[in-house]
Chains A and B, each alone.
Chain A
Amino acid sequence: MNHTIADVAVPTARSKITLQYKRVVSEASFRKILYLAGLSLLILLVAIFFSLVVASLPALRQFGFSFLVGKTWDPVRGEFGALAFLVGTLMSSFMALLIAMVFSLPISIFLGEYFRQGNVSTFMKSVIELLAGIPSVIYGFWGLFLLVPLVRALEVKLGVAPQGVGIFTSSLVLAVMIIPYASSIGTEVISLVPSDLKEAALSLGATRFEVIRKVILPYASSGIFAGILLALGRALGETMAVTMVIGNSNFLPKSIFSPGNTMASVIANEFTEATGSLYLASLIELALVLFIVTVIINVLGKLIIHKMSARK
């Protein structure tokens, strides 16, 4: 019954060794799981790119570069040129960007300089957050029932064909949608401007306006540019709201009021009805173009912002 020291010590030592062995193994496998999780996101991105390329191969082979400059999009005759959609996308996005800048830059200055704290700032920030949270289909619905009649009335006054829907209407909706995004980036970069620079200018007798114009805006200019770029990336790929108010015409738009289509909206409209592999592949190639453009814009924009926050 009496245990010697050796009797007790041997099994404990052995179990300790196995315990430690188990721990090392589990730690190694745990680290492996973490690595895999990180790696899988990279793989996901690469897989998305290659899937798009592979799925659009029939169109890539058939049309090559002429896909981007072809003017006719005729599914019945199997002719697919995306120029009308490229133009539609660029027109609506850039107009939206212009309209959005008129409002987002003041908001950025408002929140980044004049009202950095306090009730006014909190209220404004929550309203902007709210705006950013509204789903795009609801923006489209709202645009369809409020903006389309308004634009139609405007078109009657201007003497152009009163359709209501069209590129101009879609850029109005887009502008409302990207204002929150552009202004939150703008606020961030404007509040990054070091206060000693501002104080130096103020102590030399500059007014607030002069400080903003001569110190803050030049300092924040690259960040503001990045914000505009990232907002452009958003606008280019926005689908639902645009689809609902752009008029869905596959011809080259003649003016800012004509109906048109963007790359995203034509995919949304025609994808489920696409018959034939070439038709489907052409639509997927549009997605590929959209993917590449937004990747470039996002990487560029983020790089500029990182550089700017690192400068501090």
Chain B
Amino acid sequence: MKGMAEISIHRRIWADKLFKTLIIVLSLCSLVPMFLILFMITKNGISVINWEFLTQLPKPVGETGGGIANAIMGTLWLIVLAFLFSVPLGIFAGIFLSEYRGGKLAYLTRLSIEILQGIPSIVIGIIAYVWVVMPMGSFSALSGGVALGIMMLPVIVMATEETLKLVPDSLREASLALGVSYPRTIMKVILPAGLSGIISGILLGVARVAGETAPLLFTAFGSPFMNQNILKPINSLPLTIFNYATSPYPDWHTLAWGASFVLIAFVLGLNLITKWVTKKWTVQF
């Protein structure tokens, strides 16, 4: 009897150890793709990066050299447009959600946000096409900005709501007790108290849309020129990567690796800054 019990205890301990090892091994395995991606992009991309690559326009097939200046500028333009479409509305909606927490409309709004966040980006692209490109009759930076703005919106609303919820009621009550009006209390007391959270939400939103390609395929469309007119098609980094990567020319593949390196550096840099902002700047209550 005693022997049997001992064997079964040994077996149980052994199973426990085996399981833990399995969990650790499988978890570590899933890190492999990330290192492969970062390694390949750094290896193939970093040698392409130089001043010319960052400041020149692309050259036609066959000619070596050429850069991605138009794509970098285009991405920045699109981000500015998306920012304008999403940030004011997003912050106000976030204030609404944190101020009217229990209301019926707040519930529906929150549900809409969660649904909006799950809509595939290609569907958002089609919506921007139907709403902006079709009536205006041409692909444009504006329509790309609308698409990216819709994608950024949920991130900003959620970040604003989450941070404002954490601002203690005593701050609001103190402000109201001093005779400050409700709008001023919100704009001058509550909002600044949650500023770091809102800013990190905006940065996260920008990082999310900076790499988006699908919603731009038939809105911003891409363009080989440096374009400053928001009613004309505009290029972006992800579009450039897509077009170059799927082309049959090895020269262009090299350019795509370079562009990928720039894009990854930009997106990951934004993520790091966001972390830093949240860490350094959060007001402790």
List A residues at the B interface (Cβ < 8 Å). 23, 26-27, 30-31, 33-35, 37-42, 44-45, 48, 51-52, 55, 102-104, 106-107, 109-110, 114, 124, 127, 129-131, 133-142, 144-146, 176, 179, 183, 207-210, 212, 230, 233-234, 236-240, 244, 264, 267-268, 271-272, 283-284, 287, 290-291, 294-295, 297-299, 302
* Nearest 10 pairs of A and B residues by beta carbon: A237-B120, A135-B211, A37-B92, A298-B118, A106-B26, A38-B96, A30-B183, A239-B214, A207-B16, A103-B30
B114 touches A298 (CB 8 A): yes
Binds A, one of B55-63, B64-72, B126-134: B126-134
B16 touches A244 (CB 8 A): no
Task: Report the bound CA distance from A71 to B118 in whole Å.
Answer: 29
- Cross-chain contact of A268 among B105, B150, B214 (Cβ < 8 A): B214
Q: Is B155 on the interface with A (CB-CB < 8 A)?
A: no
A127: which B residues are within 8 A, CB to CB? Answer: 31, 34
Q: Is B4 on the interface with A (CB-CB < 8 A)?
A: no
Closest residue of B by beta carbon distance from A265: B122
Closest residue of B by beta carbon distance from A207: B16
A208: which B residues are within 8 A, CB to CB? Answer: 16, 19-20
A26: which B residues are within 8 A, CB to CB? Answer: 181, 183
- 1/0 per residue, CB under 8 A from A, across B95-120: the answer is 11101100001101101111111111
List B residues at the A interface (Cβ < 8 Å). 12-13, 15-16, 19-20, 22-24, 26-27, 29-31, 33-34, 36-37, 40-41, 89, 92-93, 95-97, 99-100, 105-106, 108-109, 111-123, 126-127, 129-131, 150, 153, 157, 181-183, 186, 207, 210-214, 217-218, 221, 238, 241-242, 245-246, 253, 256, 260, 263-264, 267-268, 271
Q: Given A45-B115, A106-B26, A52 and B96 touching (CB < 8 A)?
A: no
Q: Given A134-B264, A212-B19, A139 and B37 touching (CB < 8 A)?
A: yes
A264 touches B127 (CB 8 A): no
A51 touches B241 (CB 8 A): no
- Cross-chain contact of B106 among A38, A45, A104, A302 (Cβ < 8 A): A38
